[in-house]
Amino acid sequence: MAELNSNAQSDLARSEMKYRRLFESAKDGILILDAVDGSILEINPFLIELLGRSKDDCLGKKLWDIGFFNNIDVSKKLFAELQASGYVRYEDIPLKTKDGRAVQVEFVSNVYAVGGGSVIQCNIRDITERKRADDNLCRLASVVESLDDCVMSVSPDGAIETWNPACERVFGYAAKEIVGKPVATLCPDALLEEQARIMARVREGTNLRQHETIRIAKNGKPIDVSMSLSVLKDSQGTSTGHSTVIRDITANKHLEAKLRQSQKMEGIGRLAGGIAHDFNNLLTAILGYSELLLLSLAPNDAHRADVEQISKAGARAETLTRQLLAFSRQQVVAAKVLDLNAAIQELDMMLRRIIGEHIVLTFLPGRDLGRVKLALGQIEQIVMNLCVNAKDAMPGGGRLLIETKNVEPSASFDQSAPRPKEGPRVMIAVSDTGCGMTPEILSHLYEPYFTTKEKGKGTGLGLSMVYGIVEQNGGNIEVYSEPGHGTAFKIYFPQVGEPLVPVAVFPAVAASLSGSETLLLVEDDEMVRKFAVRVLREAGYLILVASSPTEAVRIVGEHAGEIRVMLTDVVMPGMLGYELVQRVAPLKPNMKIIYMSGYTEQSIVERALLKGAQFIQKPMGREVLLQEIRKALDASRTPA
Ligand code: ADP
Ligand code: MG
């Protein structure tokens, strides 16, 4: 019996030893409390170490006496709760360690019956690191939430798992609508195969970087996106799907397309301008000599009709080159400050005649409309071309609306469009209810000779001209069109502060076109030179001829007498017309200057006009040439 007893005793001692060792070596803090008054019965070394107190300091004290918790009330409440329920668990209790470190602990307590009474065992685990990791995760999550880029995670079987607010903004689905759905929901049907290939590669472990493709929003709108996919792995290295970062690049694409378009137009413009320039020299000869020939033929001459045909063809070619010049922004114009409403009102009657009665024309003039600066003729060209196109788009009738108004650039422009030049603008809009245009047509709209009309009906030069005029005057043109729904062109011109200029009265045509003064002609193009010499000689003038600027300099230097007018080309090899004028002006200060050019870049014309010189646009006919010479001579005679 005694042996049995001592065996039991040693068993008990062993067991107690075992538990004590556990208690002593545990890597969690353990406290044993009196269940009635909360005084500390036991405290293990780990907790002593963590708190930085001595064992004696703690034993027999109440939990709240030792400042274990920062908040005494909380401690008391906790204890009361524990007494009542027998179990509490707190996840996030702040503590201070011996060395002043703030630690977060998880606190789990149980009430145990021991012998007659009961004790409380509290397990206290340092979860500071885990908390920090959690906080970092939270922070990361809020970064993801705040991103402008769409971020989503996708499960290995292709279901969307997470969906940040940017995703919702771009695609239009709320998280609860889309989470769990296949990621292919966002993919247009035509690209499903590509998507499958990408997914296969990602499953093999290959990331995808900034792949440009198209995705579909909830409302069916295609979105240009740049997409990156990264394989996600858990701590064991097994794939848990992938993350997808999507950037909406629709606006960039739009800008790029606009830029490409304007570069293309720039290129075509240069080409068209160059061709028009060369043609103008040829046409000067064709039209000029036809004119001379007609003058020399008797009214009943059998050749008259033939020459008239040549003249007519030449005139048509001249119209074409003028249209090309308008497109390439090289139309010679005298821009004036204009009231757009008045200018359109003037056209009203003519427009109504052109569009016919099956189309209802409405003009909504904007109130207090700002003034614009451009040539009246250009406004007419714009409005006429847009209205004729609208008419062609509504063969069965419809409505045509012309509207003007002031716009502030920030408020009224399409955000995805390139920003217009700053400052308030005047808009003129021409809208119709006609057939509208496909994106394909829209992409070629302003190109010269682009037309969808049958041969003989369309030239394809109308909108090219409109485009050139708008550009020449610092404006923007936008078009909105959908097949079957009509078209709206919106043109914006900068407002100008200058007052209206009264319409200039054209100077009376000089009575006499002949004279006997001495003139100097400087022209490198042989055909133009010969024609001008002939016209001027026949009119009685004494002509000195130079085929190059250097020759002109020499002639001016050597000619002892007076030279009343120098008629010079602007663009010549070796020296520009202006440079020539600078060289010779000191030698003959009273000599009048007339520039002539087929190359009518606005800057050239403006420079000439600014210097008070006259300007002749090639191709020039006999009459214009003689008139301009006379004008120069008469002006120099009247004292300023
Ligand atoms: P044209 O009128 O000689 O064909 P334009 O340069 O004026 O040349 O116009 C080019 C093309 O643009 C037209 O052929 C037509 O297809 C299209 N277009 C222009 N304006 C409209 C409009 N208001 N509605 C529909 N299509 C239009
Ligand atoms: Mg047209």
Ligand 1 atom 16: residue of nearest CA: 452
Query: Residue 415's pLDDT is what?
Result: 43
Nearest atom within ligand 1 for CA of residue 458: 3
Query: Residue 412's pLDDT is what?
Result: 44
Nearest atom within ligand 1 for CA of residue 390: 23
Rounded Cα distance between 544 and 549, Å, is 13
- Regarding whether 552 and 629 lie in a shared domain, the answer is yes
Query: Residue 242's pLDDT is what?
Result: 94
- Sheet with 208-216, strands from edge to edge, namely 160-163, 150-154, 239-248, 222-233, 208-216
Helix axis angle, 602-610 to 577-584, nearest 10° = 20
- Regarding whether 366 and 488 lie in a shared domain, the answer is yes
- Regarding whether 470 and 365 lie in a shared domain, the answer is yes
169 C-alpha to ligand 1 centroid (Å) = 37
Is the per-residue pLDDT at 452 higher than 60? yes
Ligand 1 atom 8: residue of nearest CA: 460
Whole-angstrom CA distances from 128 to 26, 46, 63, 106, 134 are 18, 15, 21, 9, 10
Instruction: Please tell me the chain's helix, strand, coil percentages from 3-state DSSP, rounded to the nearest 5.
Output: 45, 25, 30
Nearest atom within ligand 1 for CA of residue 464: 6
Query: Residue 58's pLDDT is what?
Result: 82
Total Cβ atoms within 10 A of residue 496: 17
For the CA atoms of 301, 302, 308, 314, the dihedral, rounded to the nearest 10 degrees, stands at: -120
- Regarding whether 378 and 473 lie in a shared domain, the answer is yes
Query: Comparing 570 with 505, which gets the higher pLDDT?
Result: 570
Structure confidence at residue 392 as a pLDDT band (50, 70, 90): very high
Section 617-631 average pLDDT = 86
- Regarding whether 318 and 215 lie in a shared domain, the answer is no
Section 368-379 average pLDDT = 88
Query: Comparing 217 with 616, which gets the higher pLDDT?
Result: 217
pLDDT digits (tens, 9 = 90+) for 547-606: 999 999 999 999 989 999 999 998 888 888 888 999 998 999 899 999 888 765 555 556
Query: Residue 505's pLDDT is what?
Result: 40
- Regarding whether 182 and 116 lie in a shared domain, the answer is no
Predicted structure pTM score: 0.57
Domain boundary among 327, 351, 376: 327
Query: Residue 362's pLDDT is what?
Result: 92
- Regarding whether 455 and 420 lie in a shared domain, the answer is yes
CB under 6 Å to ligand 1: residues? 385, 389-390, 393, 432, 434-437, 441, 445, 450-453, 458-460, 462-464, 487
453 C-alpha to ligand 2 centroid (Å) = 9
Pairing of strands 160-163, 150-154: antiparallel
Write the CATH number for 613: 3.40.50.2300
Query: Comparing 444 with 413, which gets the higher pLDDT?
Result: 444
Section 499-514 average pLDDT = 56
- Regarding whether 400 and 308 lie in a shared domain, the answer is no
Structure confidence at residue 502 as a pLDDT band (50, 70, 90): low
Query: Residue 416's pLDDT is what?
Result: 41
Does any domain span residue 133? no
Query: Residue 374's pLDDT is what?
Result: 86
Give the structural domain span for 67. 18-127
- Regarding whether 460 and 346 lie in a shared domain, the answer is yes
- Regarding whether 527 and 395 lie in a shared domain, the answer is no
Structure confidence at residue 509 as a pLDDT band (50, 70, 90): very low
Write the CATH number for 159: 3.30.450.20
Query: Residue 95's pLDDT is what?
Result: 75
Domain boundary among 461, 494, 527: 494
Cis preceding-peptide flag for 619 (omega within 30 of 0) = yes
Structurally, the chain folds into a number of domains equal to 5
Least confident among 67-76, 322-331, 552-561: 67-76
Does any domain span residue 11? no
| Percent above pLDDT 70 for the chain | 90
Spatial contact of 220 and 193, defined as CB atoms under 8 Å apart: no
Closest to 329 (Cα-Cα) out of 378, 369, 286: 378
Rounded Cα distance between 53 and 97, Å, is 9
Query: Residue 506's pLDDT is what?
Result: 40
Does any domain span residue 136? no
Write the CATH number for 469: 3.30.565.10
Structure confidence at residue 613 as a pLDDT band (50, 70, 90): confident
490 C-alpha to ligand 1 centroid (Å) = 15
Query: Residue 640's pLDDT is what?
Result: 39
Least confident among 1-10, 302-311, 376-385, 516-525: 1-10
Nearest atom within ligand 1 for CA of residue 489: 23
95 forms beta bridges with: 103
Query: Residue 607's pLDDT is what?
Result: 63
Mean pLDDT of the chain: 85
Write the CATH number for 292: 1.10.287.130
Does any domain span residue 137? no
- Regarding whether 446 and 342 lie in a shared domain, the answer is yes
286 C-alpha to ligand 2 centroid (Å) = 28
Kindly list the protein residues that place their beta carbon closer than 5 angstroms to ligand 2, a single-atom ion: 389, 462
Is the per-residue pLDDT at 418 higher than 60? no
Spatial contact of 323 and 269, defined as CB atoms under 8 Å apart: no
Section 393-399 average pLDDT = 93
The best mutation among 451, 459, 482 to test binding of ligand 1, ranked by most ligand atoms within 8 Å of the C-beta, falls on 451
Count of all residues that appear for the chain in the document? 640
Is the per-residue pLDDT at 458 higher than 70? yes
Does any domain span residue 303? yes
Structure confidence at residue 518 as a pLDDT band (50, 70, 90): very high
Least confident among 284-288, 319-323, 484-488: 319-323
Does any domain span residue 6? no
Does any domain span residue 2? no
Does any domain span residue 602? yes
- Regarding whether 422 and 295 lie in a shared domain, the answer is no
Q: Closest ligand to 445 CA?
A: 1
Structure confidence at residue 168 as a pLDDT band (50, 70, 90): very high
